[in-house]
Structure 1
Amino acid sequence: MGEFAVVSAKGVKRWQAGHPWIFRSDVSGRPGGDAGAVRVRDNRNKDLGWALWSPRSEISLRLIERNPDQAIDVGWWHTKIKNSVERRTGLEIDCNAFRLIHGEGDALPSLVCDRYDRWLVVQLMSAGLESFRGEIVESLKQVTGTEGILARNDAALRSREGLARETVLFYGDVPKEVEIVEHGVKYLAAPWTGQKTGAFLDQRENRRLVGSVARGKALDCFSYHGSFALHLAKNAERVTAIDSSARALDRAGQNARLNSLDNIDYVEADAFDWLTEREKSGDRFDTIVLDPPAFAKTRAALASGIRGYKDVNMRAMKLLARGGYLFTASCSFHLTRQLFMEMLESAAADSGRRIALRGFRGQPLDHPEILTIPETGYIKGALLEAMD
């Protein structure tokens, strides 16, 4: 694409500060062509580099290359993808599923690629990126030697880019289920139908942490397919896995059988109600995990989301045995670290317990959080201990 996009001084400042996005309101000169890669200039006609251009999106430009003389061709994509994959070297020793490309976190805006053993699942989340589908697929094939590439292009964000929402096979074949090995624990991922690209890979290292401190009577709330429960069960005497979905708990039981674990009990229930009932009955747990879905998916939902997070954390704190551990997490981007910690402080105060912070957790190496791009970070986690 030979045309230029011209950005405002505000847009230039945003790029200079390390954020790759330029919004529609900061594009003072729109290129006339279709979505793809465009060269970008400021209002003084200075070349700024190349960006992915999405004509229908509020995020109109995503910076990908600062050298205006660099061709954005298959060689460029091969180099960038190879660099991203090589940053994960060593992860395969203990795990066969992890993220290879984390979008803006790996300087490849709107591109996600997860490895599930010998297969890849990708998401192309912008119109500009979609125009390079062929180059991306070819580069992934060459760099990884994968047996198949599945596109989980079913996210709502695609609609805002004017793109179809679909799940489609790009290359080879990808099975409906893949057996994952994660720090000695096995579970089944579902690339075609599971959450995200097939599993929650972003909590991998936090699951390992929880397994290392687990003991006694353990509880996994919002268990889904039991990923945390499996790690808990390695060291805890008994684990209760709570989820509102019977179907999810069936898969959790299947995963337990993969690991020859018979010390997990499955309860279909609303976690809030179940925790309240356990408190009234005087139950106590030595290890608790709270990994709920995002309660604040939008900024408008933040206030009610914080109330939900505080409520469930306060109830869990009340159920901790003396010296017991609570690992609690949030995947809500709009709930910042500061707000997350303020929520926990408020929950601890209302619980009447003396709660100590034993560690703050974020995302694993394969989900890099760039300080100047807050959208690359969303996982917040804390390991807490009941001191009384």
Structure 2
Amino acid sequence: MPTDRPGSTLRPAKSKRTEIPAGPKAVISVRGANRLKSGHVWVYRSDVLSAGDAAPGAVVAVADARGRFWGSALYSSSSQIALRMISSGPVRDFPGLLRERVRNALAYREKLVHDTDAYRLVFSEADFLPGLIVDRYNDILSLQILTQAIDAEPVRAALVAELSAQLKPAAISERVDAHIRELEMLPARESGLFVGEKTSTMFTMNGVRFHFDIREGQKTGAFLDQRENYAAAAQHAHGEALDVFCYQGAFALHLAKTCSRVTGVDSSRPALEVADRNALLNQREIAWMEANAFDLLKDYSVARRQYDTIVLDPPAFAKTRKNLETALRGYKELNLRALKMLRTGGILVTCSCSYHVSEGEFLEVVTDAARDAHRTVRLIEKRTQAKDHPILLAVPETNYLKCLVLSVT
């Protein structure tokens, strides 16, 4: 776990027989301490024995019942994740630490991100800034603030100041998730601009251009985590292609580079309207269909419609563990229908962004679907999220996206 010393190394939390810093303190159970010892950075509310007079969003010293100091964490008075560790030592200046972490996150991307002006700059726990998402869309930055600590005005001010100083964007906007703010017991807030007046721009991924508007789209606007998978899909795609759950057309527009005909399907008319604008921007002819994906695939499968390439990129079916069985059934149905619709030698690109569906479970579902469809499937590529969405090995929640590129006979 990082410390707040400039240039400090990153290391897992380790208990120390040292004086616990003055100020708010949280005492955790043995189970909570063992979780930190394993390298994870969360302590659930059920493992917090006491939090004293800690204010919502406070930086607290974390100790176990034996008085061992485990580091510093951001405290939430309402979330089931009560503590999010930010340092293995004391933190005396959290806004200053945040600014340092932002600089480190930007430096990390400089080594890894190429051929795009749209990518994730800060990925919450994976960049040691829990509760903060920052995405870049060309000259506009889009933020999501998801915890009480990051929502504090001094922290917001430090964040905006550092991003402005480092990147000099035309605008910085915040995309508010009303449900998250309610869960964190934060006051209602509207999405809008922090800096500047510009509300729309254009950005490029893998040579494909897209419209961006701070008032449109999901999350911060687009699904940047699939950026490298878009390019991989285009590399293998051929013939007549079907992009299911196409959203604003990112997979479809990449497929159009190599496919003779592309159809994109989504249930959201606003998303399809943006997709059509993106197609015009790239001078591509793509057929867009507003339809329920499950119903469409069922009808097409029964009618024996055939394609050479199919992409399945559905939303998260399992947002909690209790939805897992329903999610697995949904993934199997989609993949079964798609496998039946592919010509011999066809390509299936199938994705899951559900953290609660493991890679092994997803592979098993696709294998079962192939068996039921009487198709032979070879794995060309097994992929995950783009490199600007780092994965912490000790924090499995940061590893959520599965993308399989398959050859079907």
Residue aligning to 1:348: 370
Contact 2:54 2:60 in 1 (8 A): no
TM-score where L is the length of structure 2:
0.90
Tell me the SS of whatever aligns to 2:349.
strand
Asked if 1:232 corresponds to 2:259, the answer is no
In 2 relative to 1, CA 190–377 (structure 1 residues): closer, same or farther, beyond 3 Å? Answer: farther
1:288 is aligned, of 299, 310, 314, to 310
1:205 is aligned, of 220, 228, 251, to 228
CA deviation after TM superposition for structure 1 residue 333, in Å:
1.5
Equivalent runs, 1:294-373 vs 2, <5 Å = 294-373=316-395
CA deviation after TM superposition for structure 1 residue 74, in Å:
3.3
CA deviation after TM superposition for structure 1 residue 150, in Å:
1.3
CA deviation after TM superposition for structure 1 residue 218, in Å:
0.8
Residue aligning to 1:102: 123
Residue aligning to 2:400: 378
**Partners of 1:43 and 1:143 in 2: how far apart?**
42
TM-score where L is the length of structure 1:
0.94
**Partners of 2:382 and 2:188 in 1: how far apart?**
36
**Per-residue CA shift, 1:332-361, capped at 9, x if unaligned?**
111111111111111111111111111111
**Partners of 2:299 and 2:144 in 1: how far apart?**
41
Asked if 1:67 corresponds to 2:89, the answer is yes
Residue aligning to 2:19: none
CA deviation after TM superposition for structure 1 residue 205, in Å:
0.7
Contact 1:40 1:50 in 2 (8 A): yes
Q: Tell me the amino acid that sits aligned with residue 182 of structure 2.
A: S
**Partners of 1:169 and 1:190 in 2: how far apart?**
11
**Per-residue CA shift, 1:77-111, capped at 9, x if unaligned?**
22111001111105664111110111111111111
2:38 is aligned, of 17, 24, 27, to 17
Residue aligning to 1:158: 181
**Partners of 2:94 and 2:378 in 1: how far apart?**
53
Residue aligning to 1:193: 216
**Partners of 1:373 and 1:337 in 2: how far apart?**
15
**Partners of 2:288 and 2:97 in 1: how far apart?**
49
CA deviation after TM superposition for structure 1 residue 155, in Å:
4.7
Asked if 1:139 corresponds to 2:162, the answer is yes
User: Gaps spanning 5+ residues in structure 2: where?
Assistant: 1-21
CA deviation after TM superposition for structure 1 residue 318, in Å:
0.8
Contact 1:191 1:198 in 2 (8 A): yes
**Partners of 1:275 and 1:55 in 2: how far apart?**
45
User: Gaps spanning 5+ residues in structure 1: where?
Assistant: none
Residue aligning to 2:295: 273
Contact 1:116 1:180 in 2 (8 A): yes
| Percent identical | 41
- Structure 1 stretch displaced more, 294-303 or 209-218: 294-303
Residue aligning to 1:8: 29
**Per-residue CA shift, 1:21-45, capped at 9, x if unaligned?**
1111212221303222112222222
Contact 2:124 2:131 in 1 (8 A): yes
- Structure 1 stretch displaced more, 206-215 or 155-164: 155-164
Residue aligning to 1:78: 99
Equivalent runs, 1:39-50 vs 2, <5 Å = 39-50=61-72
Contact 1:290 1:329 in 2 (8 A): yes
Residue aligning to 1:254: 277
Tell me the SS of whatever aligns to 1:89.
helix
**Per-residue CA shift, 1:103-141, capped at 9, x if unaligned?**
111111111111111121111111122222222222222
Contact 1:73 1:135 in 2 (8 A): no
Question: Across the two proteins, how many residue pairs are aligned to each other?
Answer: 385
**Partners of 2:189 and 2:34 in 1: how far apart?**
36
**Partners of 1:283 and 1:352 in 2: how far apart?**
17
